[in-house]
Amino acid sequence: MENRKKEKKEKKLKNENRKEEKAAAGTTEETLENSGQTEENRKPENAPGNEEVEVEKDSLDAADTEADETEKRIQALEEKIAKEKDDYLRLMAEFDNFRRRTSQERLELVSTAAADTIKGLLPVLDDFERAMKALKDSSDSDTAKEGTELIYNKLMGYLKTKGLEVIESLGKDFDTDLHEAVAQFPVEEADRKGKVYDVVQTGYTLNGKVLRFAKVVVAI
């Protein structure tokens, strides 16, 4: 009898302990459900959420857009610099051509002015030549001859410094680039034919160019 009572008492204690454990377990699950912290939906505290991923993506897109815009601005600046450099080189080339053309025109103007001035003095030289020829054949004093020849030589010497040269024609072959035939004279000597028999008017060159053709008589 005592053993049975003891067994019933132990069973009763076990049943009470089980009830308490179940009650405690129920309270824990209810608390987890109310706080939304079940095992299935619980997340680590440090795990990144969707919002953080979207922020990082937006930041990368913004950085790529800014890099593209910067590259476009750099390309536009390089094109602008290349265009300005090309315009500068063209301007310098045009200025250099203008400078050369202006210098050439200035030289030609100076040369033309000098040629016109010297050409205007040629009749004076002709008069000196005629005067010296006349004095040579006359019986005037030697002083007049020497004075006239001295003035002629000084004038001719100055003009030579400016590039004036006499075209030597007498006894030379007739050359249309230097001579202007005003008459013909028949000769018997074969070696004199085609040569300048006499000079009617002296010809001159200025810096290698014909300033006035020599008027000559050609032997035929």
Is 113 inside any structural domain?
A: no
**Strand partners of residue 216:** 181, 199
What residues make up the domain containing 207?
164-220
Q: CATH code at 189?
A: 2.30.22.10
Query: 37 lies in a domain?
Result: no
Torsion sign across C-alpha atoms 148, 211, 111, 163 = negative
Instruction: Give the model's pLDDT for residue 22.
Output: 59
pTM: 0.53
Q: Is residue 108 part of a domain?
A: no
Please say whether the beta carbons of 220 and 199 come within 8 A.
no
- CA-CA-CA-CA torsion for 209, 212, 216, 220, nearest 10 degrees? 40
**pLDDT digit string (tens) for the chain, length 220 residues:** 555 556 656 666 666 666 666 555 555 555 545 554 444 444 444 444 555 656 666 677 777 788 888 888 898 899 899 888 888 899 999 988 888 888 887 877 767 778 888 999 999 999 998 888 888 877 766 788 888 889 999 999 999 998 899 999 998 999 999 999 999 999 888 888 899 999 999 999 998 889 999 999 999 8
The total domain count for the chain is: 1
Three-state secondary structure readout of the chain: CHHHHHHHHHHHHHHHHHHHHHHHHHHHHHHHHHHCCCCCCCCCCCCCCHHHHHHHHHHHHHHHHHHHHHHHHHHHHHHHHHHHHHHHHHHHHHHHHHHHHHHHHHHHHHHHHHHHHHHHHHHHHHHHHHHHHHHHHCCCCHHHHHHHHHHHHHHHHHHHHCCEEEECCCCCECCCCCEEEEEEECCCCHHHCCEEEEEEECEEEECCEEEECEEEEEEC
Check residue 6 and give its pLDDT. Answer: 60
pLDDT of residue 204: 95
Question: What is the length of the chain?
Answer: 220
Does 19 fall in a domain? no
Is residue 211 a part of any domain in this protein? yes
